[in-house]
C-alpha cells in the first residue's frame, strides 16, 4: 500500500481475470448468488474466491419455454486454474461442463444481427433471423433452406456464417488492435510483428511479420 501511495495517490492494482465459456449450465445455477460461486469452488477443489463473477450469455427473458440448460461466462483470476478447468472440466450444480476459452471475436447482436453491441443492449423492436432475415428468432426459423446475410446483403451465406467476409474482416481488425495494444509499450520497433488474423475458414490465426511473410499459428492462451 505504501508503494502504491508513493507511486500515485489513490491508485490500486487491478487483478487480471480470464473468461471461460461454460456450455450447458443448468438454469438452477444463479450467477448473481455469491454462495453459488463458493459452492462451485468447493465442489471443484478451487482456491477461495478464485471465481470472481459469472453471468448468463443470453438474457433470461429470451429463453425458450422448457429450456433447462444454457451458456454462461465464468470469470476466474488464476491462469493456472483456467488451464486445469479446460483440461478437466467443471461441476456446476451437479452437472459436468467442459469450459472453453473465450475467444477475442467481434461482437454481433443476436437480435438484429448487426455489429458492436449485445442483444441485451439492442434498440431494435423485433428479432431478425440470422438464417433467412425474417422477423423471428433464429432458433425458430422454418426457412432453413433460405440464407441471407444482413451485413453483406447477400444470399450466398447466413448472417451467422463464420466464412462471412465481414466477419473475417472484423476478426482481422479485432486481432490487429489487440496486438497493437500488447506491443506498443512492451517491445522494441525492431521486434514487433503485425496483426494476427483469421484465415478464410476462421479456424486459425495468421501472423504477418514486417517482411510480409505469413505463418499459421494456434490461438494464444493468454
CA distance linking residue 195 with residue 180, whole number of Å? 8
Neighbouring-strand partners of residue 25: 70
140 within some domain:
no
Residue 96 lies in domain: 18-101
Binning pLDDT at 50, 70 and 90, where does residue 12 land? low
Total count of domains within the chain: 2
Does residue 135 fall inside a structural domain?
A: no
Reported for 207-216, long-range contacts at CB under 8 A and 24+ positions apart, including other chains, are none
pLDDT digits (tens, 9 = 90+) for 135-162: 999 988 998 889 999 999 999 999 999 8
> Structure pTM?
0.52
pLDDT at 131 over 50: yes
Least confident interval from 7-11, 71-75, 81-85: 7-11
pLDDT band (50, 70, 90) for residue 102 = confident
More confident residue, 2 or 162: 162
pLDDT grade for 197, boundaries at 50, 70 and 90: very low
Confidence of residue 170 (pLDDT cuts 50, 70, 90): confident
**154 within some domain:** no
What is the DSSP track for 95-125? Answer: EEE--EEPP----B-TTT--BSS-GGG---S
What are the distances in angstroms from CA 49 to CA 6, 32, 37, 102?
Answer: 29, 14, 8, 20
Indicate whether 160 belongs to any domain. no
CATH number of the domain at 73, please.
3.30.70.330
Domain assignment present for 35: yes
Determine the Cα angle at 41 with ends 38 and 44, to 5°. Answer: 150
Q: Does 71 map to a domain?
A: yes
Output the CA–CA distances (angstroms, integers) from residue 88 to 81, 84, 142, in the order listed.
10, 6, 38
- Is it the case that residue 38 has pLDDT exceeding 60? yes
Question: What residue has cell string 517482411?
Answer: 211
Amino acid at each position: 500500500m505504501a508503494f502504491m501511495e508513493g507511486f500515485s495517490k489513490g491508485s490500486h492494482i487491478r487483478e487480471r481475470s480470464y473468461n471461460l465459456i461454460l456450455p450447458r449450465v443448468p438454469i438452477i445455477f444463479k450467477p448473481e448468488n455469491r454462495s453459488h460461486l463458493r459452492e462451485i469452488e468447493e465442489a471443484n477443489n478451487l482456491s477461495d474466491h478464485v471465481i470472481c463473477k459469472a453471468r448468463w450469455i443470453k438474457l433470461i427473458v429470451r429463453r425458450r419455454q422448457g429450456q433447462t440448460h444454457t451458456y454462461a461466462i465464468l470469470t476466474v483470476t488464476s491462469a493456472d486454474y483456467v488451464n486445469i478447468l479446460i483440461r478437466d472440466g467443471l461441476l456446476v450444480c451437479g452437472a459436468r461442463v467442459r469450459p472453453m476459452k473465450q475467444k477475442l471475436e467481434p461482437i454481433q447482436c443476436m437480435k438484429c444481427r448487426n455489429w458492436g453491441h449485445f442483444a441485451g443492449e439492442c434498440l431494435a423492436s423485433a428479432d431478425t433471423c440470422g438464417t433467412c432475415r425474417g422477423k423471428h428468432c433464429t432458433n425458430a426459423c422454418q426457412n432453413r433452406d433460405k440464407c441471407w446475410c444482413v451485413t453483406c446483403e447477400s444470399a450466398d451465406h447466413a448472417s451467422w456464417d463464420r466464412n462471412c467476409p465481414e466477419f473475417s474482416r472484423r476478426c482481422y481488425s479485432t486481432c490487429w488492435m489487440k496486438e497493437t495494444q500488447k506491443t506498443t509499450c512492451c517491445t522494441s520497433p525492431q521486434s514487433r510483428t503485425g496483426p494476427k488474423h483469421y484465415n478464410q475458414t476462421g479456424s486459425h490465426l495468421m501472423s504477418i511479420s514486417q517482411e510480409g511473410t505469413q505463418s499459421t499459428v494456434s490461438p494464444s492462451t493468454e
